[in-house]
Chains A and B, each alone.
Chain A
Amino acid sequence: MSVIPDERTRDLSNDEISRYSRHLLLPEVGIEGQKRLAASRVLIVGTGGLGAPLALYLAAAGVGTLGVVDFDFVEASNLQRQIIHSNRDIDRPKTASAKDRIKGLNPGVEVVVHNTRLTSENALDIFAGYDLVADGTDNYQTRYLVNDACVLLGIPNVYGSIYQFEGQASVFYAKEGPCYRCLYPSPPPPGLVPSCAEGGVLGVLPGIVGTIQACEAIKLIVGGADSLIGRLLLLDAWSMKFRELRIERDPNCPICGASPTIRGLIDYEQFCGIGLPSDEAPIETITAVELKERLDRGDRLQLIDIRESHERAIVKFPGAKYIPLGQMARRVDEFDPSADAVFLCKIGQRSVFAIRALRDAGYDGRLINLKDGVNAWARDVDKSLPQY
Chain B
Amino acid sequence: MPITIQIPTALRVFTDRKSEVRANGATVAGAIADFAASYPDIRQHLYDEDGTLRSFINIYLGDTNVKNLGGLDTPLKDGDTLMLVPAIAGGSCPR
Please report A residues at the B interface, Cβ cutoff 8 Å: 46-51, 70, 72, 75, 77-78, 81-82, 135-140, 143, 160-166, 168, 183-189, 192-197, 199, 201, 206, 232, 234, 236, 243-248, 250, 279, 308, 324-330, 353, 356-357, 360-361
Chain A binder among B13-21, B22-30, B72-80: B13-21
B16 — which chain A residues lie within 8 A by C-beta? 326
Contact of A248 with B68 in the complex, beta carbons under 8 Å = yes
Q: How far is the CA of A326 from the CA of B41 in the complex (A)?
A: 6
Would you give the 0/1 interface string for B32-63, flagging 1 where the beta carbon is closer than 8 Å to chain A? 00000001111111000100001110101001
List the 5 closest pairs (A to B, CB-CB), nearest first.
Answer: A48-B92, A196-B93, A163-B88, A46-B92, A188-B56
Please report B residues at the A interface, Cβ cutoff 8 Å: 8-10, 13-16, 39-45, 49, 54-56, 58, 60, 63-65, 67-68, 83, 85-95
Chain B's nearest CB lies how many Å from the CB of A17? 35
Q: How far is the CA of A312 from the CA of B30 in the complex (A)?
A: 37
Contact of B64 with A325 in the complex, beta carbons under 8 Å = no
Q: How far is the CA of A166 from the CA of B11 in the complex (A)?
A: 12
Q: How far is the CA of A48 from the CA of B92 in the complex (A)?
A: 4
B15 — which chain A residues lie within 8 A by C-beta? 326
A361 — which chain B residues lie within 8 A by C-beta? 40
Q: How far is the CA of A236 from the CA of B49 in the complex (A)?
A: 31
Chain B's nearest CB lies how many Å from the CB of A130? 18
B14 — which chain A residues lie within 8 A by C-beta? 326
Chain A's nearest CB lies how many Å from the CB of B77? 20
CB-nearest residue of chain B to A74: B94
CB-nearest residue of chain B to A185: B55
Contact of A164 with B9 in the complex, beta carbons under 8 Å = yes
**Could you list 12 A-B pairs, sorted by A, with CB under 8 Å?**
A47-B92, A51-B92, A77-B95, A135-B91, A139-B89, A163-B10, A166-B88, A188-B45, A193-B88, A195-B89, A245-B85, A360-B43
Contact of A163 with B41 in the complex, beta carbons under 8 Å = no
Q: How far is the CA of A357 from the CA of B13 in the complex (A)?
A: 13
Contact of B44 with A356 in the complex, beta carbons under 8 Å = yes
A247 — which chain B residues lie within 8 A by C-beta? 65
Chain B's nearest CB lies how many Å from the CB of A308? 7
Q: How far is the CA of A160 from the CA of B89 in the complex (A)?
A: 9
Contact of B92 with A136 in the complex, beta carbons under 8 Å = yes
Chain A's nearest CB lies how many Å from the CB of B93? 4
Contact of A137 with B10 in the complex, beta carbons under 8 Å = no
